[in-house]
Amino acid sequence: MKPYMKYLIAVVSVAIIVGIFYIRVYIPKSTYETIEPTVGDLQVSVQGIGNVSALKIYSITAQTGGRILKLLVDDGAWVKKGDLLVVMDGVDLPQQLDVAKANLIKISYDITASENELQNLKAQKELLQITYSRYAKLKEQGFASQSEYDKADAELKSVNANMAVARSRIHSAKAALVVAQKSRDVIQTKIDRLKVLSPIDGYVISKSAEVAQNVLPSTPILTIVDPKTLWVETKIDERISSQIKIAQSATITLRSQPQKLYKGSVKRILSMSDAVTLEREVDVAFETLPTPFYINEQAEVHIVVQNLSGVVKIPTKVVVQKDGKLGVWLVENSRAKFQVIEKIAQNDTEVAISNIDKASHIIVPNTKKKPLSDGAKVY
C-alpha cells in the first residue's frame, strides 16, 4: 500500500473518532434541560422537629398514703371526669366511722334525756313555788311554823339548783355533739380520700403502681393527658424563630404515620431559648386529634409564616452558588450566562425572585455534564 494511502486512512479514522466523540460525548455533555419561571402563589414555611406532648398532663396520686386496694384502669384506657380510678386501703377507718356515728347517737340520746329531765324539774318547780308561797303567807299570819317554811324554801332552792345542773348538762352535751360531728366528718373525709377520681375526660398514658403496693401521697400512680390540649413541642432555630407568630397555620407529620398530614396551629411560643442548642420551643396544637396518639412520639412540623401571591417562582434545584453569590444559569444566544438572583422568599421547593423575567430560559444544572461557565456553548 502506498504511503499516502496510509496517511489518508489514519486521517479519516481520526476524523471519524473525533466526530463520534463530538456527537456521542461532547454534545450530550453540553446539552442541558431548561425551564421557564412560573407565576403563582408561594407558601413559605418553617420546619421543626419535636415530640407529641400536651398542655395538661395530670399525675394522679393518692391523697393519703397506704396500700392500694383497687386499681380500676390500665395504661391506654379512656376515662371520664369523675370515674373511680384507685381505691386505697382504709385499714380501720370504716370501724372508726361506725364508732363516731354511734357516739353521735349516744350524745343525741343524752341531750334528749337532759331536756326531758329539765322539763320535769320545771314542773316540780311550779308545784314547789305554790307550796313555798302558801307557807310564806301562813308564816306571816302565824299559822305555819318556821321549820315548815324553811323546808319549802329548801325544796325550791334544790329544784332550781337541779335545773341549773340539767341546763349545764344540755349545753355540755350539745358541745360534745358538735365535736362528735366534726370527728365523724373528719373520718368520712379520710374515707372519701381513699377513692381517687379522674379530674378530666382523658387518656391514661402510664401506670406507675400496682395493687397491694404501698405508696406515699406524693407517689404517682397514673398519668392522664387531656387530649383537647394535645400539641407538638417543636424546636425551632433562633435565627428563624422570629418569623413565627401565635395562630399561624401548620402541618404535622407523625413518625408512626408518615403518609398522613395533620392540620395544626401555633398555640404557644416560649420566651426562653435553650442556651446549648440555640433553639426555641414552639408548641403547635392539633386541629384534629390523631387516633391513636403516643406521648413523646417524634413529629415533623411545618409552620406557614408567609403567603405570597402572583410572584415569579423558580425551583430551588436551579439555584447555584458562584463566587459566593446565589444565582441561576441563563441561556442567551445558545451560551450560558450566570445571573445573580434577588430572592424575595423561599420554601423547600421554590424560590420567589424579582429580577428574572418570566420568559427567561434557565438551565437545570446537571453534575453529570461538564461544568458551566460564562459564555460556554450549550445545546
Residue 25 reports pLDDT greater than 80: no
Give the pLDDT of residue 356: 86
SS3 annotation, 40-91: EEEEEEEEEEEEEEECCEEEEECCCCEEEEEECCCCCCEECCCCEEEEECCC
Domain-by-domain residue ranges, the chain? 57-90+194-224, 93-192
Q: Where are the alpha helices (DSSP H) in 193-323?
A: 238-241
Q: What is the edge-to-edge ordering of all strands in the sheet holding 202-207? A: 57-61, 220-225, 202-207, 78-79
Q: Is the pLDDT of residue 40 over 60?
A: yes
Residue 281 or 125, more confident: 281
> Residue 1: what pLDDT?
54
Q: How confident is the model at residue 15 (pLDDT cuts 50, 70, 90)?
A: low
pLDDT at 36 over 90: no
Give the mean model confidence (pLDDT) for residues 263-281.
Answer: 93
C-alpha 183: how far from chain center: 40
**What does pLDDT average to over the chain?**
86
So what's the pLDDT on residue 211? 92
Q: Which residues contact residue 319 at a Cβ distance below 8 angstroms, ignoring those fewer than 6 apart?
A: 326, 327, 328, 341, 351
**Is the domain covering 57-90+194-224 a CATH 3.50.50.60 domain?**
no
Q: Please state, for a pLDDT cut of 90, what percent of the chain lies above it.
A: 39
pLDDT digits (tens, 9 = 90+) for 175-206: 988 999 999 999 888 888 899 999 999 999 99
Average pLDDT, integer, range 152-172: 87
How buried is residue 309: exposed, middle or buried, by Cβ count under 10 Å (0-12/13-18/19+)?
exposed
Residue 12: its pLDDT value, please?
55
Mean pLDDT (whole number) for 257-274: 93
For residue 26, the model assigns a pLDDT of: 45
pLDDT of residue 241: 86
pLDDT for 129: 87
- Tell me the pLDDT band of 152, cut-offs 50, 70 and 90: confident
Identity of residue 343: K
pLDDT of 16 = 55
pLDDT of residue 6: 54
Please tell me the distance from the alpha carbon of residue 222 to that of residue 204, in angstroms, as a whole number. Answer: 7
Looking at residue 354, what is its pLDDT? 85
* pLDDT at 78 exceeding the cut of 60: yes
Comparison of pLDDT for 136 and 168, the residue scoring more: 168
Query: How far does the chain reach from its first CA to its final CA, in angstroms?
Result: 43
Mean pLDDT for 24-52 is 78
Of the listed ranges 6-20, 101-115, 276-290, the least confidently predicted one is 6-20
Q: Which of 21-25, 192-196, 251-255, 288-292 has the highest mean pLDDT?
A: 251-255
Residue 277, pLDDT > 80, answer: yes
Closest CA to 232 of 55, 50, 57, 58: 50
